[in-house]
Amino acid sequence: MGTPITRRGALLGGAGAAGLALAACAERHHDPLPVPEGAFKHGVASGDPRADSVVLWTAVTTEAAAPPALTVEVATDPDFTDIVWTGEAAARPGVIPVEGAFPVKTIAEGLQAGRWHHYRFRGRGETSPAGRFRTLPEGPLDEYRIAAFSCSNHPNGFFNAYRHAAETADADLMVHLGDYLYEYAMGGYATEDAERLARLPEPRHEIVSEDDYARRHAQYCLDPDLQAAKAAAAWIPIWDDHEVANDSHVTGAENHDPRTEGDWIARRDAAIRAYHDWLPVREGETLINRYGAVEIGDLASLIFLETRLTARSEELDFSSFPVPAESDPDDPEIQAQVRRWREDVIGDPERRLIGDDQRGFIAETLAASVQAGKPWRVLANQVLMARAEAPNYMTQTPWWLRQGMRLTSEFHWQFAQRTAHGVPFNLDSWDGFPADRERLYDAARAAGADFLVLTGDTHNAWTNDLIDVAGERRGVEFGVTSVTSPSPFETVNAPGVNFGRMTEDRNADILLNDAYMKGYLVLTLRSDEAVAEHIAVSTIKSRDFTASAASAWRVRPGNGEPMSAPERLG
């Protein structure tokens, strides 16, 4: 998420944050979570499933200079009495170990479609924990469940969402929508509670080199709740920006300074190499082109996007805003200047989020899905796709909160003033690239396709209609809240002020904006309906928590007509 709502601070300048910090200090300190012993202490994972194959991953810890070759077993039962595939896995030549731990991957092939399998690794006289996965189904299918996650900041809290999904979601597939890890140093973004929670980032400094990224990945892999989620089902992860650096684009990032952190491409490639080493993902000829699609029986096509590193133009910020923030929003000349700014600067057709090749791939996949008669097309997408206008914080917030904004942060006070002129909620999202969004919508229209969208990034939960410039529904978006990363509104001490409700009131296309919950989403696909459940965990500051469905939404397929608007259940 980019400016004006930043990951480095609260939207409204952190009014009341000091009181919240004092309250946090009074809470108890946690002991570090126990680290498993043995050669396979980083757990196991499966990913990028196909109907007949899957990637299997582990890391093996050894005192030897090179890791041993591992035997891999895949069975149809948890006792491994019916072993259907056996193979070997070895570390990639040149892979960087972390404290003697070498990441290892292999692809198990020739498997039966749509079946649950169990797997384990053997080596050094030890056997790894077992995991399970379901190969993608083929043919008729009654139901398919996807658990979706985003924005898992390790120092900010416990991964209760992962634990709950592993134990109760009954997911056929898990999708991570990006910001699986964060690059910041201790003392940086969202590390305020790290010492109290015994979740200090490793390494302590900001990660820049391949070794740094590998060490941060290895730390995440030691988390028991993340291990449980990875072992429970196959994953398809996509990256957003923090897998490399905040607000990444083709030529750089907001959180990259070439004067002190070196060449951007070198840093990007180091991060992506570590990502592929430490996650169960397939590797193409070019690692950066991580977009693609999988087919889920006769129910759905799942298309996963890459919106950061292959085509994205540099993010706009509000330095280009054409009038002083305090200008009269009712002045016709002021209104004309703001309108031209939105049309000519933000709406510049040269601004790109995805490239022509990727959009062509999406169009072909959508058309093939429609031709195959599948009721659903699901896009796994990094940043908010729906149009989202910022509320007018100059009229929709109480006077005492506006006074707090004015006194605590000039930057955020100016943004609040600009909202009186009508500005997008976030220029880092598709709203900062509206011409590219319409090109995507045009491709879907030409294919006769609509789609569901699963989106991460915002640390909020959303249910949105996706409406094109012609006023037609192109699809429905479910924004997945964060596993732990803080909402921009959390530190605003404003009792009775609901910032999500303000956003809903300002935007007819936005049916839900929960600006505070933590958790994940479960999407259940059936031939006649798709049901999305926003699952909320009660806390991320303790591993003692409860979880419940904060809201649930049903969408009916269009079957040649636009899909239905989301219907709230319960």
Write out the DSSP string of 295-336: EETTTEEEEE---SSSSPPPPP-GGG-SS-TTS-TT-HHHHH
Ramachandran angles phi, psi of 18, nearest 5°: -60, -40
Asked if the model's pLDDT at residue 8 lies above 60, the reply is no
| Triad 125, 128, 132: Cα angle to 5° | 145
* Residue-level pLDDT at 25: 43
> Are residues 413 and 406 in contact, defined by beta-carbon separation less than 8 angstroms?
yes
Joined tokens for residue 493? 């001490």
Across the range 89-115, mean pLDDT stands at 97
pLDDT in tens, 462-495: 999 999 999 999 999 999 999 999 998 887 878 8
User: How confident is residue 22, by pLDDT bands cut at 50, 70 and 90?
Assistant: very low
pLDDT in tens, 209-230: 999 999 999 999 999 999 999 9
Considering the chain, what is the average pLDDT of its residues? 94
* Residue-level pLDDT at 338: 97
d(CA 456, CA 98): 29
> Are residues 566 and 476 in contact, defined by beta-carbon separation less than 8 angstroms?
yes
d(CA 75, CA 370): 35
> Are residues 76 and 98 in contact, defined by beta-carbon separation less than 8 angstroms?
no
Asked if the model's pLDDT at residue 18 lies above 50, the reply is no
Local structure of 52: helix, strand or coil: coil
pLDDT in tens, 154-212: 999 999 999 999 999 999 999 999 999 999 999 999 999 999 999 999 999 999 999 99
* Residue-level pLDDT at 381: 98
Local structure of 29: helix, strand or coil: coil
Across the range 117-139, mean pLDDT stands at 97
> Are residues 217 and 181 in contact, defined by beta-carbon separation less than 8 angstroms?
yes
Phi-psi region of 531 (alpha: psi -120 to 50; beta: other; left: phi over 0): beta
> Are residues 483 and 175 in contact, defined by beta-carbon separation less than 8 angstroms?
no
Percent pLDDT > 70 in the chain is: 95
pLDDT in tens, 245-282: 999 999 999 999 999 999 999 999 999 999 999 999 99
User: How confident is residue 5, by pLDDT bands cut at 50, 70 and 90?
Assistant: very low
Joined tokens for residue 351? 């601004």
Domains located in the chain, CATH noted: 17-30+137-569 (3.60.21.70)
d(CA 234, CA 57): 11
List, as one string, the DSSP characters of 91-138.
EPTTPPPBTTEEEEEEEE-SPPTT-EEEEEEEETTEEPPPEEEEPPP-
pTM flag (> 0.85): yes
User: How confident is residue 16, by pLDDT bands cut at 50, 70 and 90?
Assistant: very low
Asked if the model's pLDDT at residue 27 lies above 80, the reply is no
Three-class SS of 67-85: CCCEEEEEECCCCCCCEEE
d(CA 453, CA 451): 6
